[in-house]
Amino acid sequence: MNVTVLGCGRWASFQAWYADKIGMPAMIWGLAESEITKALIATRRNDYLELPADVEITDDLEKAINFADVIIIAIESQQLRVLCRDLVRIKGCLHKPVLLCMKGLEKDSGLRLTQVARQEMGDSVPLAVWVGPGHPQDFVRGVPSCMIIDSDNSGLARKLAEDFTSPLIRLYYGNDLIGAEVGAATKNIIGIAAGMLDGLDYSPLKGALMARGAREISRLVVAMGGQEITVYGLCHLGDYEATLFSPHSHNRAFGLSLISGKPYDKLAEGVHSTDSVMRLSEKYSLELPICAGVSTMLSSKAEAKDMLIKLFTRDIKNEFLRL
C-alpha cells in the first residue's frame, strides 16, 4: 500500500519515516515555496529525524496524490481548508482514504477538522483521524506507544488501524469521531495551562489540572454529541503525559514561555483551539473555567497568579456532578 504524506513538518516527516519502517512505499509532499520543504529536499533531515532513502520528497501535489493508496495529512490545522480546496481539483483524489494526523479546531468557525474537510471535499471521501500520545523524538529512538484511529465509518477506522499498527505503535480503533477530535484538540489547551504552572513553579498542581481538565472537556464533548468516556481514553487523557510533561511538547513549552515573557517560534495548536473552544462554550452555554483562564492569559487580560487564584477559590461543588 502506497502512502502519501501531505506536509513536511515534525509529525508529517515522522509519518513518512514510519510508513517506510513498516514496509509501505512512502512519498512526502510540501509546498515548493516553504523553507521547511526546501530544507527537507536538500538534506533529507530535520531536527527530529532523517528520512530513509526510499522515501521520495516532492513539491508536486498531483504527483503525490497519484502515487497514493492512502493520503495522510499532517499540516497546521488552520491551513486544512485551503489544502482541501486544492485536493478536490485532482482527479481520483476523492476516492482515496484520507487520514488526518492533526489535532485542532478551525479558529474562525470552531469546526472539527473532519467537518472542514467534508465542507470542501464532500461527504463521499473516506475520512478518518489519527490521534493520541507520542512524539517523533521518542518514536525514532524506539520508544513504543498506543494511539487511536477514529472515523464515522467504523470499517475504515478498523482497517486503517490494522494496516498501520506495529510493535512501535499499537493502534486502536474508535467509535466516537466527535469525542476523538475534540479531545485531541483540547488537550493542547490543557498543555498550555501545564506550561503556565511550570513557569510559576506550581508543577505539583498538574495532577489537579489533569483531573479537572478531563472533566471539563468531557462536558464539552457530550454537549457536542460525543461520548463522555472518550475523553478518558487515548485521544485526551491518554495524551496528557506527552502534552503536559514532555520536554518535546510545543504547547507546554508555549505556556512556559508565555509566563516567562519569552518568545516562542514553534507551532502550538492549542492557541488556535482556545479561540475555538471559547466560541463553543458560548454556543453550548457551558462554563469551561480552565479553557477560559488560558484564553484570558492569551489575551493578556490578567496576571497568571490572579487567574490561578480564581480557579482555586471557586465555589465548592460536587466533583463529578458539576464543575
Distance CA 191, CA 75 (A): 19
All three cell numbers of 310: 480564581
Catalytic one of 96, 103, 159, 187? 187
Q: Which residues of 221-240 are buried (b: 16+ CB within 10 A; e: fewer)?
A: bbebebbeebbbbbbbbbbb
The answer to whether 245 touches 238, Cβ cutoff 8 Å, is no
Residue 58 backbone dihedrals phi, psi, to 5 degrees = -145, 155
Residues found in the chain: 323
255 by Cβ neighbours in 10 Å (0-12 / 13-18 / 19+) ranks as: buried
Report CA dihedral (211, 217, 218, 221) to the nearest 10 degrees.
-170
Contact between residue 65 and residue 96 where contact means Cβ atoms under 8 Å apart? yes
Catalytic residue check, 187: yes
Q: Which residues are catalytic?
A: 187
